[in-house]
Amino acid sequence: MRQLLTLSLAVLLLAGCIPEPPPPSKPLQQAPAATGNLQTAIANYRRVAARVEPVAESACRSIHPSKPASFCDFQIVVRNDPKEPANAFQSIGKDGRPVITFNSNMLLQIQNDHELAFVLGHEAGHQIASHLIQSRQNQAVGAILLGVLVAAGGGDASVGLDLGAQIGGRAFSKKFELQADTIAVHIADRAGYNAAKGAQELARTGGSSSFLSTHPSSGERVANATAVAGEIRTARAQGRRAPIRW
């Protein structure tokens, strides 16, 4: 994997086709917390991403063997804009490759390597579970249905289309977040990190229970991640690897 990491607006880690590494034979290096230092935060991120990315790509290819190679060829991007709230998200680049974006404030918020691995695995999980494709389909269906209903009631159909697309796009988003968390636990664990400890990042950033929220509550997410981590440990104790299911 070839990496290029700077403090510019966008930073790319370009990965080749690297097989999933074997379980670590020695303890992972634990870096100090960034404590507001962006250079330290990026160095921590760079090291963790180098370990997690090939695992995520290998898992993705094993689940989607018939997909083009680009479907699992992750680009990992850092946006250095101090005005943006802490955030990480997955999107699709112009070349069709999945893009995982962290902004600088998100990196400064992360407290340890396990959390970095979990968030990276979570965003990769959205691609592995094809959430963007499903979300767009939900938006189209929601827009059509609500647009027709509003128009039938004598209202402005365009308003119904907009609201329908918004609701349709979020109809399964809480489910998607839990699914991405589940995949994240597997990826972080396979990369050698403590996924249950990494999921504690959710307790700080959390989620909302409002009607149009795109995230479940932090308690629900932590409980889900902890349960999945327990299933992985049980499988390992039995001499097998838990399959990635969501």
The three-state (H, E, C) secondary structure of the chain, written as one string: CEECCCCCCEEEEECCCCCCCCCCCCCCCCCCCCCCCHHHHHHHHHHHHHHHHHHHHHHHHHHCCCCCHHHHCCEEEEECCCCCCCCEEEEECCCCCEEEEEEHHHHHHCCCHHHHHHHHHHHHHHHHCCHHHHHHHHHHHHHHHHHHHHHHCCCCHHHHHHHHHHHHHHCCHHHHHHHHHHHHHHHHHHCCCCHHHHCCHHHHHCCCCCCCCCCCCHHHHHHHHHHHHHHHHHHHHCCCCCCCCC
pLDDT tens digits along 69-121: 999 999 999 999 989 999 999 999 999 999 999 999 999 999 999 999 999 99
166 or 62, greater pLDDT: 62
> What average pLDDT does the segment 177-195 reach?
97
Q: What is the pTM of this model?
A: 0.72
Q: What share of the chain has pLDDT > 70, as a percent?
A: 65
What per-residue confidence (pLDDT) applies to 16?
A: 29
pLDDT tens digits along 10-33: 333 323 222 333 444 444 555 445
Least confident residue range of 142-146, 153-157, 195-199: 142-146
Least confident residue range of 8-22, 60-74, 119-133: 8-22
Least confident residue range of 11-25, 83-97, 216-230, 232-246: 11-25
What per-residue confidence (pLDDT) applies to 99?
A: 95
